[in-house]
Amino acid sequence: MKLHYLLLAALPCLPLSVSAAPSSEESITAPETHNRELNVGDKAPDQYKRDDQAIQDWKAKGLPEPEKESHWVRMGKHYVLVQITNGVVLAIQPAS
């Protein structure tokens, strides 16, 4: 019985893990990242910084003009705006 009370007394001291979902920003799972979720602000795999990955007809796909030193790439079912200099994900949009 004393052990039962000891366990109950220790409960408030245990850390609670809270899994915060991304706010209003969309996230995706990139196929090349082994199911790692990517959010705006995360670093994309280096291959997406290369020019050969860039979507050239971004306007035809209804995407906004890429920001300076960035380009749109396709990751699975999403278009991702990647900053060329450091690989940071600037925006994520579903592919149509």
pLDDT (tens digit, 9 = 90+) per residue, 33-50? 445 789 999 999 999 999
Q: What angle do CA 24, 15, 19 make, to 5 degrees?
A: 20
Looking at residue 3, what is its pLDDT? 39
Residue 9 has pLDDT above 90, yes or no: no
* CA dist., res. 7 & res. 51, Å (int): 59
Specify the DSSP element, H or E, that contains 10.
helix 2-10
Indicate whether 16 belongs to any domain: no
Residue 5 belongs to a domain: no
Q: What is the CATH number of the domain that holds 77?
A: 3.10.450.160
- 3-state class (DSSP) for residue 12: helix
The range of the structural domain enclosing residue 63 comes to 42-94
Q: Is the pLDDT of residue 31 over 60?
A: no
State the pTM of this model.
0.65
